[in-house]
Chains A and B, each alone.
Chain A
Amino acid sequence: MITRLVLIACLVAAGGALAADEPEFALTIRGHRFVPAEIRIPANTKVKLVVQNEDAAPEEFDSHALNREKVIPGASKATIFIGPLAPGRYPFMGEFNASTAQGAVVAQ
């Protein structure tokens, strides 16, 4: 049993080693807003969003359209994988400051 779990963990790790490098897109949280508020990415391609939270407070990147929820502590960085996406607009928000932290990924 333990052997099987270790095997699964090894397969996951091996998958990471073999994974192709995804295109990276930078996103910043500053003053409880996303900068830029709109990110354009290639459609049908998996990409990596590197989100830098410059605020002191944590924020949660939340997107029902992308099926992603990720808490980013204050003054730190997180990576969020999205896609491949069909062409379209996919809104996201900062759940802890939803009145100001709004944005969208546009796949084209």
Chain B
Amino acid sequence: MKRSPARFLLLALLSLAPSAHADPDDYVATPAVEYGEREIELRLGTATATEGQRHSAASLAFGYGVTPWWATEVYGKWNRSDATRFDAFEWENRFQLSEPGQYFADFGLLVELERPRDRAEGYELRLGPLMQKDFGPVQANVNVLIERHYRADAPEATELGYQWQLKYRWRPAFEFGAQGFGEVGPWNDWAPAHEQAHVLGPAIFGKVGLGGRQVVRYDAALLFRVSSAAPARTLRAQVEYEF
């Protein structure tokens, strides 16, 4: 497929910027799977971009706990910079590798395959281990994820990112803590610190039972940049209806 030199240069530059891949509605995945659970999920996020332009994203998904160790979810993703547009389909799979509490930490695996609307971006694969550990009433999660585009017009490195959260489990309907997200660039040749994207900030979480199998979960965070390549502020939120 032929592309103009300007388009090729733009894609190449985007591929060098770690923050180019961060969706403001990204969330912290957890390793536990709920067998038989169906869910409808809405994610929203908006970020003040480094160039001053606001970038927003939204995702709507349907998920299902297929087995006690495998949950799958299909997303439609939209984004808005100058105009709102459909961005991609995504197929997310979480695999629970250990029973909660069985070992010193709980382990899972995330495998996501995204098909962007812009076919020049090819396919995006993101995968990596999910880890969770309880320290009394505090739950800690750390995920290390690698991301790579396949069949993209422009060559692109395999990039390394991470997610983390700390959650004080105060009440089922209201828990609080912090979340952070970051990308360091190519997994085997990290970008200079000023080109890496790191954000962190306060977060709230909760779960409200509606009776029977019906539950609403939410979490939201206000994230601030801790590196110059990251958006100054990101507001993200996620609501799940489980049934």
Contact = CB atoms under 8 A, between A and B. Distances in A.
B65 interface: yes
B177 to A, nearest CB: 13
Chain B: interface secondary structure? loop
B222 interface: no
Contacts of A15: 103-104
Interface in B103-146: 103-104, 107, 109, 127-129, 134, 139, 146
B200 to A, nearest CB: 23
A71 B99 contact: no
Interface in A33-71: 46, 58, 60, 64, 67-71
B100 interface: yes
A12 B101 contact: no
A9 B130 CA distance: 12
Q: Which of B101, B127, B215 has the most CB of A within 10 A?
A: B101
B209 A95 contact: yes
Contact of B158 (A1, A8, A64): A1
Given A9-B97, A95-B215, A19 B36 contact: no
A67 B134 contact: yes
A73 B101 contact: no
A81 B36 contact: no
B97 A5 contact: no
B169 interface: yes
A19 B102 contact: yes
Interface string B58-80: 00000001001000000000000
A81 B134 CA distance: 13
A98 interface: yes
Given A1-B146, A64-B172, A71-B34, A83 B101 contact: yes
Contacts of B97: 9, 12
B169 A64 contact: yes
B103 A79 contact: no
Contacts of A79: 99
B36 A16 contact: no
Nearest to A79: B99
A107 interface: no
A81 B37 contact: no
A8 B107 contact: yes
B100 A81 contact: yes
Interface in B143-177: 146, 158, 169, 171-172
B213 interface: yes
Contacts of A58: 36
Contacts of B172: 64
Contact of A71 (B37, B171, B209): B37
A86 B139 CA distance: 16
Going nearest first, the 3 A-B pairs with the smallest beta carbon separation are A81-B101, A71-B35, A64-B172
Interface of A: 1, 5, 8-9, 12, 15-16, 19, 46, 58, 60, 64, 67-71, 73, 78-83, 95-96, 98
21 contacts: A1-B187, A5-B109, A5-B129, A8-B107, A9-B97, A12-B97, A12-B103, A19-B102, A58-B36, A60-B34, A60-B213, A64-B171, A68-B100, A70-B100, A71-B65, A73-B36, A80-B101, A81-B99, A95-B213, A95-B215, A98-B209
